[in-house]
Chain A
Amino acid sequence: EVQLVESGGGLVQPGGSLRLSCAASGFTFSYYHMTWVRQAPGKGLEWVSYITDSSDTIYYADSVKGRFTISRDNAKNSLYLQMNSLRAEDTAVYYCARVISRRFDPWGQGTLVTISS
């Protein structure tokens, strides 16, 4: 069964940092591009970042560019999101998802990140 499990969320003060992880199983992780999507409380889905299978191409949403860094370790079947200079507006549930022909399938259950003093 294809499965994605996010971890690393929590409560952080504004200006702080957090590293999210996404553990993949049930498929050959190194063959697939991956992405992060978030949902702020009461808001819709917002795409955050994308990384190709070999990490040679990376994209970020303007709202996180320069603050967030996406990476992956194909040997560990894991995707990461390093989040620095966190702001209140970064509070959200963060989902990782596999990318297949520009669609996201499947998604993980998400991990909650709360930015508050």
Chain B
Amino acid sequence: SVLTQPPSVSGTPGQRVTISCSGSSSNIGRNTANWYQHLPGTAPKVLIYSDGQRPSGVPDRFSGSKSGTSASLAISGLQSEDEADYYCAAWDDSLNGWVFGGGTKLTVL
């Protein structure tokens, strides 16, 4: 994948976890990053857009940030229902298209 994410992260209920997303100057370095949550068998859902904005209805336990060519998703107060796959994405000026990270599977122990 053009964007690089860790394949998996885990945490216990109540903990805080972060998921990184590394890109380049043609995508995250020049455009905003979005984060999607995907539970198997359901429609993916946008969690964070424009690097750090939350759509209405998304709990403030979810937060996003960006620095240079990397973006991060933080989930605090981890809950069992947060178990899902998380993807970062951004527009790529060189490819003239969107690029996704490979996805990170979050396990709540």
Contacts and interface: CB of A to CB of B under 8 A. Distances in A.
A47 B55 contact: no
B50 A104 contact: no
Interface string B33-68: 010101000111110011000010000000000000
Interface stretch (A12-20, A82-90, A95-103): A95-103
Interface residues of B, number: 27
Contact of B101 (A44, A50, A95, A106): A44
Interface residues of A, number: 23
Of A44, A108, A110, chain B has the most CB atoms within 10 Å of the CB of A44
A109 B46 CA distance: 14
B43 to A, nearest CB: 4
Contacts of A101: 49-50
A41 B96 CA distance: 25
Interface in A53-110: 59-62, 95, 97, 101-110
- Pick the most buried of B95, B98, B103: most chain A CB atoms within 10 A of its CB: B98
A47 B46 contact: no
Among all A-B residue pairs, the 8 with the closest Cβ atoms: A44-B103, A47-B98, A103-B49, A107-B43, A105-B46, A103-B34, A45-B100, A44-B102
Interface of A: 35, 37, 44-47, 50, 59-62, 95, 97, 101-110
28 contacts: A44-B100, A44-B102, A44-B103, A45-B36, A45-B44, A45-B89, A45-B103, A47-B97, A47-B100, A50-B98, A60-B97, A61-B97, A62-B95, A97-B44, A102-B32, A102-B98, A103-B50, A104-B34, A104-B44, A105-B49, A105-B55, A106-B45, A106-B46, A107-B43, A107-B44, A107-B45, A108-B43, A109-B43
